[in-house]
Amino acid sequence: MLRVVLVEPEGEYNVGFVARLCRNFDVDELYIVNPKCDLTTAARFAAHGLQTLNSACIVKDLKEALQGVDLKMATSSDADNPGDILRTSVPPWTAAELSKGKRTAIVFGRESVGLTRKEIAATDFLVHIPASKDYPVLNLSHAVSIILYELRKDTSAISSVDSTTLSLLDRYIRDLYIHVKSKSVDERAYLVAKRVIFRGVKTEAEARTLLRLMRKLYLKLNGVWQ
């Protein structure tokens, strides 16, 4: 299942073009968070994606738009600045690998300022289309088209890890980064560990084996020796 999420889009033409692209690439759901433009005008640009636009879910915040998916991916033209873990990116073809067999949401930002750091942090991965170092900022709908092409081009490939196994893995990884005293999570370390592990796990058997290790670690750290 593939969901496209537009956060506060400002241009009617972009929203229309994206609705059309959703139809072109068999996207299952279009979510629009707090649109900043007129959706009736946007319809003029949707062509045969009009039905997709008319049935889009209009929601108030990103949290709502990310409900019910296994994998959340943000996108940005601004990525891979040294030392900035949050903006360490994967390219679209890796995003395609990661999303195989999972209910996936791919989130696109405002034409003016993109996505906030908080919005990026609410997702699992950041996807960046490698473009000119001088000018890597694509038009919103152009960025959507490249990413949808990559996500859809190889539909026959392996389906991988079960979503329940994946969310259990996620929970254990996060648990391992909870400070004993303050009870707060080391978000940076958690994000790195999750990304590395999710990127590497290819099959259900691998995921389950890793899950057993995580569980063992968790139990040992919590004083329950096995």
| Amino acid symbol at 151 | L
Torsion angle of C-alpha atoms 154, 77, 4, 151, degrees rounded to 10: 0
Looking at residue 108, the DSSP 8-state letter turns out to be E
CB nearer ligand SAH, residue 125 or residue 198 = 125
Q: Pick out residues in 57-116 that bind ligand SAH (CB under 6 A).
A: 75-78, 108-109, 111, 113-115
CB nearer ligand SAH, residue 108 or residue 172 = 108
CB of 32 to ligand SAH, least distance (A): 13
CB of 177 to ligand SAH, least distance (A): 28
CB nearer ligand SAH, residue 94 or residue 165 = 94
Q: How many residues does the chain have?
A: 226
Looking at residue 178, the DSSP 8-state letter turns out to be B
Helix (H) or strand (E) segment spanning residue 59: strand 57-59
Question: Is residue 133 involved in binding ligand SAH (CB under 6 A)?
Answer: no
Q: Binding pattern to ligand SAH, positions 135-164, x when CB under 6 A?
A: -xxx-x--x---------------------
- Which range in 15-23, 50-58, 131-139, 207-215 contacts ligand SAH by CB under 6 A? 131-139
CA distances 182 to 20, 203, 220, Å, are 48, 35, 19
CB nearer ligand SAH, residue 80 or residue 167 = 80
Rounded distance between C-alpha atoms, residue 163 and residue 160, angstroms: 9
Backbone φ/ψ region at 122: left (φ over 0), alpha (ψ -120 to 50), beta? alpha
Q: Which residues bind ligand SAH (CB under 6 A)?
A: 75-78, 108-109, 111, 113-115, 127-129, 131, 136-138, 140, 143
